[in-house]
């Protein structure tokens, strides 16, 4: 796996690099550290920042890369210049504390990075992972990515599917009922087949996992589950559909989650992990 890490701030340590150290213990990872110079900075200053960060990487080979210009344009250009499987962005404690990388949706919707990981705050993700599946992605990228990370980080996974629709007020926000999930899994519907296949992937990865089924507004239910389940990493999908209602709905859900999920977030595109 080739990972590009965007180094945006001068820090004593980078949680993103600790994350990659842990991942590299079970997955072959090559890391490129990218720093985009500020107008007042010299190349030597950029090199010092990258060298300081590189010393934190002990489990993976590392390359250093310095660029000039607008960070958004640089990241979009690097996606076409080289083959990276994963882009890692480290935000601050606040959810939107990345002033040089706003708006993020340009990177998520217009870049060629198969996966984009947004690490938020000082916590290292890897204890509880919430994988949100739309149910129609035939290749099951979200599930595979969650299984890979859970196995590497020794984390548990909850696979959540939210069926759009309304429910009685008394049931809104309650955990999915086991009998409802069981009933769905016994059918021959698209979502049932998808969930059964996803469960097989998680079982084959030998990770602690469970399935959750909810009905309601996807963004609201996902945010509610994040809060109730105390997750530290959320995995969502990104579609390459370029027209029609599906693109509008999926793009809106992704963008709203990126701006509102308070913990680290992995956005997985079609064809990731191939």
Question: CATH class for domain 128-265?
Answer: alpha beta
Whole-number pLDDT of residue 175: 47
In this predicted structure, the answer to whether residue 104 has a pLDDT above a threshold of 90 is no
Task: List pLDDT tens digits, range 3-54.
Answer: 999 998 777 788 889 999 999 988 999 999 999 999 999 999 999 999 999 9
**182 has a pLDDT exceeding 80:** no
Mean pLDDT in the chain? 82
- Among 13-27, 56-70, 120-134, which stretch is predicted with the lowest mean pLDDT? 120-134
pLDDT tens sequence across 212-246: 888 888 899 999 999 999 899 999 988 654 444 44
Task: Please tell me the predicted confidence (pLDDT) of residue 235.
Answer: 96
- Band of the pLDDT at 248, cuts 50, 70, 90? very low
Local confidence band at 184 (pLDDT 50, 70, 90 cut-offs): confident
pLDDT score at 169: 40
Confidence bin at 174 (pLDDT 50/70/90): very low
Q: Where are the domains of the chain?
A: 2-119, 128-265
pLDDT band at 122 (very low <50, low <70, confident <90, very high): low
State mean pLDDT over 156-181: 62
Domains 2-119 and 128-265 share a fold: yes
pLDDT-above-90 percentage for the chain: 46
Q: Which ranges constitute the DSSP H helices of the chain?
A: 15-24, 43-54, 71-81, 105-110, 141-153, 178-185, 190-204, 218-229, 244-260
Residue 258 CA to chain centroid, in angstroms? Answer: 9
Residue-level pLDDT at 254: 82
| Higher pLDDT among residues 176 and 263, named by residue | 263
Of the listed ranges 101-110, 156-165, 250-259, the least confidently predicted one is 101-110
The pLDDT of 94-110, averaged and rounded, is 59
Contacts 24+ apart (CB under 8 A), 214-218: 214/160, 214/161, 214/162, 214/163, 214/176, 215/162, 215/163, 215/164, 215/165, 215/166, 215/167, 216/162, 216/164, 216/165, 216/166, 216/167, 216/172, 216/173, 217/162, 217/164, 218/132, 218/162, 218/164, 218/253
Top pLDDT among 137 and 241 is at 137
Show the tokens assigned to 193. Answer: 């087949």
Fold held by 2-119: Rossmann fold (3.40.50)
């Amino acid at each position: 796996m080739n990972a590009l890490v965007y180094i945006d701030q001068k820090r004593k340590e980078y949680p993103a690099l600790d994350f990659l150290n842990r991942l590299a213990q079970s997955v072959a990872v090559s890391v490129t550290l990218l720093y985009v110079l500020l107008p007042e900075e010299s190349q030597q200053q950029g090199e010092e920042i990258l060298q300081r960060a590189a010393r934190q990487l002990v489990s993976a080979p590392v390359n250093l890369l310095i660029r000039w210009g607008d960070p958004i344009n640089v990241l979009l250009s690097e996606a076409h210049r080289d083959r990276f499987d994963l882009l890692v962005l480290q935000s601050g404690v606040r959810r939107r504390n990345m002033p040089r990388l706003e708006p993020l949706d340009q990177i998520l919707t217009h870049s060629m990075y198969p996966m984009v990981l947004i690490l938020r705050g000082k916590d290292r993700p890897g204890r509880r992972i919430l994988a949100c599946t739309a149910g129609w992605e035939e290749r099951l990228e979200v599930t595979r990515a969650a299984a890979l990370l859970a196995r590497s980080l020794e984390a548990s996974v909850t696979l959540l599917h939210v069926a759009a629709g309304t429910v009685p007020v008394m049931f809104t926000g309650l955990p999915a009922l086991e009998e409802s999930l069981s009933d769905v899994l016994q059918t021959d519907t698209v979502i049932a087949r998808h969930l059964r296949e996803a469960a097989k992937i998680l079982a084959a990865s030998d990770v602690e996992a469970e399935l959750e089924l909810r009905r309601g507004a996807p963004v609201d239910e996902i945010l509610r589950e994040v809060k109730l389940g105390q997750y530290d990493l959320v995995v969502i999908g990104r579609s390459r559909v370029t027209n029609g209602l599906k693109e509008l709905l999926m793009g809106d859900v992704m963008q709203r989650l990126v701006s509102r999920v308070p913990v680290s977030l992995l956005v997985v595109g079609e064809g990731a992990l191939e």
